Amino acid sequence: MTLTLQHLYYLVGAILAITAVATATDASNPKRFSSALFWGLYALVFLVGDQLPPVWVGVGAVAMALIAGFGGVGAGKHAPRGASEYVASAKRLGNKLFIPALAIPFITMVGTLAAKQLVVGGVPLLDPKATTLVALGVGCVLSLALVCWLTRETPAQGLRESRRLTDALGWALVLPQMLGMLGLVFSDAGVGKAVAYVTTTYINMDMRFVAVAVYVVGMALFTVIMGNGFAAFPVMTGGVGVPILVGVYHGDPAVMAAVGMLSGYCGTLMTPMAANFNIVPAALLEIDKNAVIRVQVPTALTLLTCNVFILYFLMFR
């Protein structure tokens, strides 16, 4: 049997469904029913999303946004282990704790590079169309088995820790996927064409360096607005990247895509819209909610400036 991306979706959906059930039965969560509905709807997208009409998936996404927007996603109380237990566990495991974490990228790399050789009876073990993502899923499962063996815990404890982390992140956990969807909606709605019209009308694109700067800075600005580089990418690439940098100046699209996404990540470092990266960590550390962003802004601006020159000199070789 070939492991496909759909199998990975089923696994994620099952974990979310378990989270929804556990949340609904958690009396310590003051918003347990609305929270359970939120995670249950999210689970359905992974479990049966391919079988539902697109409009119903959209309705589910809107319902999730309304639940989160009206503060319906809450967290239960998770009893932490004592300090002595943490110290004892740390002394026993030491640096071995890094092994499962490092195993995930290692297995992903091996699976991706060896996918063509992983064939049984003429059937590939990993889906050739999504090798890297499927290999990542396999890496996560094998890493879970490895961490259970190292820590002498059970997979059930892994699910409990998964729910604890899900509660800590809350609705921000779904932001990357939601904002990625928003980028596709913007693209289908013609926002990219509107961007192309505005830039070519009011900015002199006859200078190649200016066109490069508009693309790079635009990726960062749209990411700041939308909170996700994946959402900004189809807008700026459809509006400036493909028609101008590739179509007019005949640049390398692979370089454009790589540096463009890196420029988008610069925007991620500077926006509260990227809540799962910037706001949630601050909340977990109990510091000012914008403290992470303030520290990251100088790095983001420096890297963004460098990206303009990197794209200019590498894309048109």
Query: How far apart are the C-alpha atoms of 282 and 275, rounded to whole Å?
Result: 10
Site of tokens 């479990």: 47
Query: pLDDT below 70 — which residues of the chain?
Result: 80-82, 180, 183, 192, 283-284
- pLDDT value for 300: 95
Query: Any idea where the domains of the chain sit in the sequence?
Result: 83-153, 190-315
First to last CA, the chain: 44
- pLDDT value for 260: 94
pLDDT in tens, 122-155: 788 888 888 888 899 999 999 999 988 888 888 8
Query: How far apart are the C-alpha atoms of 132 and 136, rounded to whole Å?
Result: 6
Give the distance from CA 105 to its chain's centroid. Answer: 16
Q: Which of 240, 228, 231, 310 is nearest to 269 (CA)?
A: 228
Contacts of 272 (CB under 8 A, 6+ apart): 278, 279, 289, 290, 293
Structure tokens at 229: 């580089």
SS3 percent helix, strand, coil of the chain, rounded to 5, is 80, 0, 20
Beta-strand pair 119-120/123-124:
antiparallel
Cα dihedral 189→193→198→201 (10° resolution):
-150
pLDDT in tens, 65-81: 899 888 888 888 877 66
